[in-house]
Structure 1
Amino acid sequence: MLNTAIWNVRGLNRRDHQVAVRDLVSEFRLHFIALLETRVMQSNVTRIQSEVLSRWRWFVDYAAPGNRIWIAWNDELIDVEFLNVGSQFVHCRVLIHELRETILITVVYGANEVSARRELWQGLIELSVTIGNVPWLVGGDFNAVLDMSEVSGASGDIRLAMNEFNDCILQTGLLSMPMQGERFTWHNCSLDGRSFWKRLDRLLVNDIWMDRWPNLFYTCLTPRTSDHSPLVLKGDCRNMQVSLFRFDNYLTLSPGFLASVHSIWRHPVTGTLMYSVTRKLKALKSVFRQQRRSKGDLAMNVKLAAASKLEQVMLRQRAKLQWLKGGDQCSKVFFRRVATRRANKRIF
């Protein structure tokens, strides 16, 4: 199945934002990614794309105001054909090479104003008529919520926007894809105590998609360098693997262990605290790997230690046999044992 992600990155000019995108692609082995609100001038497009994903294909649309949506994909795994480009969405057909199956993806970035978003709702309704019997995924930043439980904190009267969004979903026949992770996908990052959260980002699918992949879900990750959370859809949920941070405890006894941790931990990382921790742990992996190599072949050392231990056990067993055979006689074995016992019992 297609590994894909949609993320409102809130700018792609900064180095830390570019690194966060590359990390996302690498961590989840993505085939397709849509980036919203890149804020990149048209003259800098080629340079930014080469720094983020140099070997991937890219689509950008500067005809729409604000350069709202960028799409990148690995053309060795999928083919992408763009069918319709609106001011608030990009609609494309994706052929997955491995499955030899075609799906439709619509990437959305809704306008901030309620009146402007009506163009988006109407565009999605018109698209739904043309979909036919093909799996359809619609996802992105809708700038609207479905009900009041998706808002935490005072944010004004949003009932009109909420009702229009629900009407659009009803008319298009879209369904909410099962989700895990963060419930709220956007935070205003206020420092004056007037914080509020909303679930502005989501993935929706049609009934054909739901019938084809009934166990599929997407993950809403913790925010990284943006105030929006990345949305990641990674294949079949049965094949998902969680990458854990592990290292060998014996490395803590190495002279350079604490120095290595301090050198990496003091470097600042832009983004949320949890993202900063994960970035630093990832950087430590290569350091610990090098320290482990300097200790030699760990597996061979374990085998040698086990062999040495086995040899000691065998020698002790042989000593017991010798004692059973000649321990009670006036032999060298008896007198050696007596001398050893006296030496051990002596009080200085």
Structure 2
Amino acid sequence: MSWNVRGVNRSPKQSEVRQVIAENKISLCAILESHVQPSNLNGICSRIFRNWSWSSNGNVCDKYSRVIVGWDTNVMDLMILSQSDQVVHTQITLKADRKVIFFSFIYAHNSYLLRRQLWQNLLIHNNFVNNQPWIVMGDFNTIMSLDESTSSSSSRNISMVELKDCILELEILDLKFSGLQYTWNQKPKGDSGLMKKLDRVMGNQVFNDVFPGSYVEFLPYRISDHTPAIISIPLSKKFCPKPFKFSNVLISHPGFKQVVTAGWNIEVEGYYMFSLIKKLKNLKKPLRKLLYDKGNLHTRVNKLRMEVDSVQRSIDADPFNQILREDHAALVFALNDAILDEERFLKQKAKVEWLKLGELKLLSTYLLEIDILLKLISYLCCIHQT
């Protein structure tokens, strides 16, 4: 996501940026026109990005950081390649499939004369990208065609011509998008407001070939006069099964012994240790199936409680109904069985947590003893030398 927020020094704007990140499951966010002084960056970025990593171009700006980039290190690795006061060039590596994408986050100057430095910077960086997936997104501070503004102007100005020429030379295009057409609103409350498409998300042909399902959404302005621009990139994430964990609940399952016996009677040729490991691995799938048949233990207990309550109310209204009494007996038996399963599961879970804490305490004790022993050895060595 890139978003010109017109300053994030106040807590309401920080909260709104966090909200948009959470709502849209953002993993990479560029805040434009931050108005944050370099001395305040650490505190503000830690409140917005929490446990993410972040960087800014504050060291190349005159007054404040114009672009702040935050990213989730669990999803991607990001490297800052170069930066100026108008653009931050990055390279990200997606951890899901190890694919590399170049991202350039733009906050262009208001003056078209100063924007010429940005266009030249992009042309130089294009040579570095060299046929790799590349996204250019942010606030360009100028439109590209007359239909991207609600003004009554009928002629193209030099700013529009220079942007158009730069884009043609870069060979990048707007990605398919949905949402708001005009990304900037000059006077949201006035009658004579001006609206323009100043924010864009553009990609080269290589990006479209490698990530064909990507799309952009321009959300409502909320606390800014610019829209957040969000690009969604589908990933070919490989399925990784969860590690096998044996649940003590399975022991009480009626088919447990039968499944284990069937798995253990399979003939496996090879050394005894290989045969043992192979049989244990073969048991994973049928044991997972047994646990799946149990369903969610907590949901099952709650459901049976409600059914027992309902039957007991029915018996109270019709005390001589034999069918209700038989149903009641079966449900009470099933409820007791479900409560025992839930209790076994929670006990095992608590024991695992206790063992983890115990291991940490034991490790810290060992480290303390080793530290004391090293100091004692050092002390004895000093005495021996004297």
Normalised by the size of structure 2, how large is the TM-score?
A: 0.61
Deviation of 1:237 after TM superposition, in Å, equals 10
Bigger share in helix = 2
Q: What letter matches 1:139 in structure 2?
A: M
Q: Is residue 2:54 matched to residue 1:58?
A: yes
Aligned to 2:12: 16
Q: What letter matches 1:213 in structure 2?
A: F
d(CA) in 2 for partners of 1:197 and 1:302? 59
Paired residues for 1:152-167 under 5 Å: 152-154=150-152, 159-167=157-165
Q: What runs of 5+ residues in structure 1 fail to find an aligned partner?
A: 240-296, 319-348
Residue 78 of structure 2 aligns to a residue in which SS?
A: strand
Is the CA contact (8 Å cut-off) linking 2:57 and 2:85 kept in structure 1?
no
Is the CA contact (8 Å cut-off) linking 2:35 and 2:65 kept in structure 1?
yes
Q: What letter matches 1:29 in structure 2?
A: K
d(CA) in 1 for partners of 2:43 and 2:217? 30
Describe the shift of the 1:196–1:93 C-alpha distance in structure 2 as closer, same or farther (beyond 3 A).
same
Is the CA contact (8 Å cut-off) linking 1:219 and 1:231 kept in structure 2?
yes
Is the CA contact (8 Å cut-off) linking 1:186 and 1:229 kept in structure 2?
yes
List structure 1 runs of 4+ shifted beyond 4 angstroms: 154-158, 297-313
Is the CA contact (8 Å cut-off) linking 1:105 and 1:136 kept in structure 2?
yes
Aligned to 1:292: none
Aligned to 2:3: 7
Q: Is residue 2:24 matched to residue 1:28?
A: yes
Q: What runs of 5+ residues in structure 2 fail to find an aligned partner?
A: 238-301, 324-386
Describe the shift of the 1:160–1:95 C-alpha distance in structure 2 as closer, same or farther (beyond 3 A).
same
Describe the shift of the 1:233–1:311 C-alpha distance in structure 2 as closer, same or farther (beyond 3 A).
farther
Normalised by the size of structure 1, how large is the TM-score?
A: 0.67
Q: What letter matches 2:145 in structure 1?
A: D
Aligned to 2:175: 177
Describe the shift of the 1:113–1:156 C-alpha distance in structure 2 as closer, same or farther (beyond 3 A).
farther
Is the CA contact (8 Å cut-off) linking 1:28 and 1:234 kept in structure 2?
no
d(CA) in 2 for partners of 1:299 and 1:182? 49
Aligned to 1:119: 117
d(CA) in 2 for partners of 1:304 and 1:19? 45
d(CA) in 1 for partners of 2:304 and 2:226? 44
Aligned to 1:270: none
Aligned to 1:194: 192
Residue 226 of structure 1 aligns to a residue in which SS?
A: coil
Residue 22 of structure 1 aligns to a residue in which SS?
A: helix
Comparing 75-84 and 102-111, the one that deviates more: 75-84
Could you tell me which of 204, 208, 222 is aligned with 2:202? 204
Deviation of 1:92 after TM superposition, in Å, equals 0.9
Number of positions where the alignment pairs a residue of Structure 1 with one of Structure 2: 258
Paired residues for 1:93-108 under 5 Å: 93-108=91-106
d(CA) in 2 for partners of 1:99 and 1:21? 28
Structure of higher RCO (CA pairs closer than 8 Å, 6+ residues apart) = 1
Deviation of 1:86 after TM superposition, in Å, equals 1.8
Q: What letter matches 2:91 in structure 1?
A: R
d(CA) in 1 for partners of 2:314 and 2:214? 51
Identical pairs, percent = 28
d(CA) in 1 for partners of 2:125 and 2:223? 33
Describe the shift of the 1:192–1:7 C-alpha distance in structure 2 as closer, same or farther (beyond 3 A).
closer
Deviation of 1:144 after TM superposition, in Å, equals 1.1
Comparing 51-60 and 177-186, the one that deviates more: 51-60
Deviation of 1:238 after TM superposition, in Å, equals 12
Q: What letter matches 2:50 in structure 1?
A: S
Please give the root-mean-square deviation of Cα atoms over the aligned residues, in Å.
3.0
Paired residues for 1:1-348 under 5 Å: 5-62=1-58, 63-65=60-62, 66-154=64-152, 159-189=157-187, 191-236=189-234, 301=306
Is the CA contact (8 Å cut-off) linking 1:94 and 1:103 kept in structure 2?
yes
